[in-house]
């Protein structure tokens, strides 16, 4: 569980910075840019976050929940209209789409690495796959062991 939290922490901090700090700059007289933020910047953040996470770690169905959860806090703090909450579902779907695309790239990269490993093994005819080195083997036969004197005389 702790490993999972560490994986999510970097992405959660990035999402929190984008979803919580960016609306500050679009309030007041810049309110006309609010739609650009909600319809382009936040979904792009969710898509890219899911893509990068799944590209590195594979598919995870709980990761796309980070963006909508942080967005809900942003919408409650900065928006006086609750119809903006519909974007929770949009960011969830876009995040899942990013995770699916990233997972496909992850599987393709993993398959390419496995093919390279197979080529390397086949190139060496499997010699590198299993090498056994046997050293220091002594074989003694009972009652036929020559003594030092007998051995010197036979030379």
Element (H, E) at 154: helix 148-154
* Residue 95 per-residue DSSP state: H
- With 0.75 as the threshold, say if the pTM is over it: no
Would you kindly state where each structural domain of the chain is located, as residue ranges?
2-123
Pair 70, 16: CB distance under 8 Å:
yes
Give residue 142's pLDDT: 62
Q: What is the reported pLDDT for 144? A: 56
What is the residue whose two structure tokens read 């796309």?
64
Compute φ and ψ for 135, nearest 5 degrees.
-135, 165
User: What is the pLDDT tens value at each position of the chain, 155 positions in all?
Assistant: 777 778 888 888 999 998 888 888 777 665 666 777 888 888 999 999 999 888 888 888 888 999 889 888 888 887 767 777 788 899 999 999 999 998 888 888 778 888 888 887 777 665 544 556 666 766 665 665 555 555 555 55
Provide the token pair at 140.
């003694």
């Amino acid at each position: 569980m702790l490993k999972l939290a560490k994986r999510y922490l970097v992405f959660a901090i990035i999402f929190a910075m984008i979803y919580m700090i960016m609306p500050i700059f679009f309030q007041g007289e810049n309110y006309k840019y609010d739609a650009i933020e909600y319809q382009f910047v936040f979904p792009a953040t969710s898509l890219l976050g899911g893509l990068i996470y799944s590209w590195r770690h594979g598919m995870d169905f709980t990761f796309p929940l980070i963006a909508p959860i942080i967005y809900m806090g942003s919408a409650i703090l900065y928006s006086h209209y609750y119809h903006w909450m519909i974007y929770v579902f949009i960011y969830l779907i876009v995040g899942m789409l990013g995770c699916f695309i990233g997972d496909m790239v992850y599987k393709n990269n993993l398959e390419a690495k496995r093919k390279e490993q197979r080529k390397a093994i086949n190139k060496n005819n499997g010699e590198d796959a299993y090498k056994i080195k046997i050293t220091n083997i002594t074989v003694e036969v009972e009652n036929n062991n020559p003594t030092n004197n007998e051995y010197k005389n036979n030379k």
